Amino acid sequence: MTSSRVREFYWRFFKKRTTSFLANLYLSSITGDEGDIHQTRVDMKKINAVLEMFQMLDPEKFDHATFDVFKTLFRFSGKIRELQVNQIVIAKTGSATAGVTLITKYLRSRENKLSKQFISVVQQFDEKKLNKAERSIMKLCQEIKVKTLKARSEKFIVKKAKKISLLRNYPSNPENIHEIRKHLKAMGTILTLISMVFTDQKQDAILSKLSQTEILIGNWHDNQVLMDYIDQFIRKRKKIRPEYQLHLQLVRNTIMKNNQELLQVLFPKIEETLSVIFPSSPANESAEGDL
């Protein structure tokens, strides 16, 4: 693809996403439906993906303040989604004890409360700021050069992979795993966008490995978030009945065991991903000079 066609493609992609975002945004403000709110978040994630690409391309020209228009909405919809996922993970354990019923009702009530707050946030949304963000993206699109896009995306992937290579040496630290997840997501975001305009065998191989790895680490993350939530739920309730606390602790133990099993599969997948990026020395790449 020529530079001019790449510029047009990314501009049309971004414009299509913002159009869908506005439609779903106002629909969700009317219905308050969790599906409509989730679709708004999906649109925002795709918009954020484009923003991440332009930040990677030229960090100095990328003005974060211009795109703050999405921040509050994304944070709110993210919290709502987290509560929904917590309920899904609990349901997968198959436990139907009184303690589990108690926390499930709490999660649902929190979700309903935040959904109502989300509607009020939508009503304050400033379309003028969105228009300003679109003008900024159009300008950034006009400056895209194919050679620069290829070179910087490859450098970005290598830099993220080197960070993962260092972090994977400490698999027992949950914070390290959270950081690995962030780097994997960033790599996946950029490669997905780049693959829309370029075809490359190595790039496709990395994307294939990333998709498998991201699913595993995403499941680990969802479990981890729920375990933290259960701890917080128990800690904040001084008068919680002992049997309810036991019910929740049993669920937490089940999820923790599941996470330990996930990690046994996850880290070999991370190694496979790194071996595609660094075929000559997958285990010994060091990023100390680049970090």
What's the number of CA atoms in the CB half-sphere (13 Å) around residue 254? 15
Phi, psi of 138 (to 5 degrees): -60, -40
Instruction: Flag the least confident range among 119-123, 229-233, 243-247, 271-275.
Output: 119-123
The more confident residue out of 128 and 61 is 128
Average pLDDT, the chain: 88
Mean pLDDT, to the nearest integer, of 65-85? 85
Q: Which two tokens stand for residue 9?
A: 């493609």
Residue 98 has pLDDT above 90, yes or no: yes
SS3 280: coil
Mean pLDDT, to the nearest integer, of 83-107? 92
Give per-residue burial for 70-106: e unless 16+ CB within 10 Å, then b: beebbebbeebbbbbbbeebbeeeebeeebbebbbee
Instruction: Tell me, letter by letter, the H, E, C secondary structure of 32-51.
Output: CCHHHHHHHHHHHHHHHHHH
* 146-281 CATH pick, 1.10.1740, 3.40.720, 1.20.120, 1.10.10: 1.20.120
**Dihedral sign (CA 48, 51, 53, 55):** negative
Q: Give the Å distances, CA to CA, from 253 to 24, 34, 91, 169.
A: 39, 29, 15, 25
User: Confidence band (pLDDT; 50, 70, 90) for 117?
Assistant: confident
Structure confidence at residue 74 (pLDDT): 83
Give the H/E segment covering residue 154: helix 146-167
User: Confidence band (pLDDT; 50, 70, 90) for 182?
Assistant: very high
Where do we find the tokens 């993206």? 137
Structure confidence at residue 71 (pLDDT): 81
Structure confidence at residue 35 (pLDDT): 83
Mean pLDDT, to the nearest integer, of 180-209? 91
Residue 7 and residue 5: Cα distance in Å, rounded? 5
Mean pLDDT, to the nearest integer, of 172-190? 91
Residue 162 and residue 285: Cα distance in Å, rounded? 6
Structure confidence at residue 102 (pLDDT): 94
Residue 1 has pLDDT above 60, yes or no: yes
Q: What is the DSSP string of 39-98?
A: HHHHHHHHHHHHHHHHHHH-TTT--GGGGGGGHHHHHHHHHHHHHHHHHHHHHHHT---H
User: Confidence band (pLDDT; 50, 70, 90) for 91?
Assistant: very high
User: Confidence band (pLDDT; 50, 70, 90) for 283?
Assistant: very low
User: Confidence band (pLDDT; 50, 70, 90) for 281?
Assistant: low
Residue 276 has pLDDT above 60, yes or no: yes
Contact 211, 278 (CB under 8 A): no
Q: What is the DSSP letter of 267?
A: H
Q: Residue ranges per domain, the chain?
A: 146-281
Mean pLDDT, to the nearest integer, of 201-227? 93
Q: Among candidates 195, 205, 192, 190, which has minimal Cα distance to 273?
A: 205
Structure confidence at residue 31 (pLDDT): 82
- What is the number of H-type helices and E-type strands within the chain? 9, 0
Rg (CA), the chain: 21
Instruction: Flag the least confident range among 74-78, 100-104, 135-139.
Output: 74-78
Residue 110 has pLDDT above 80, yes or no: yes
Residue 233 has pLDDT above 70, yes or no: yes
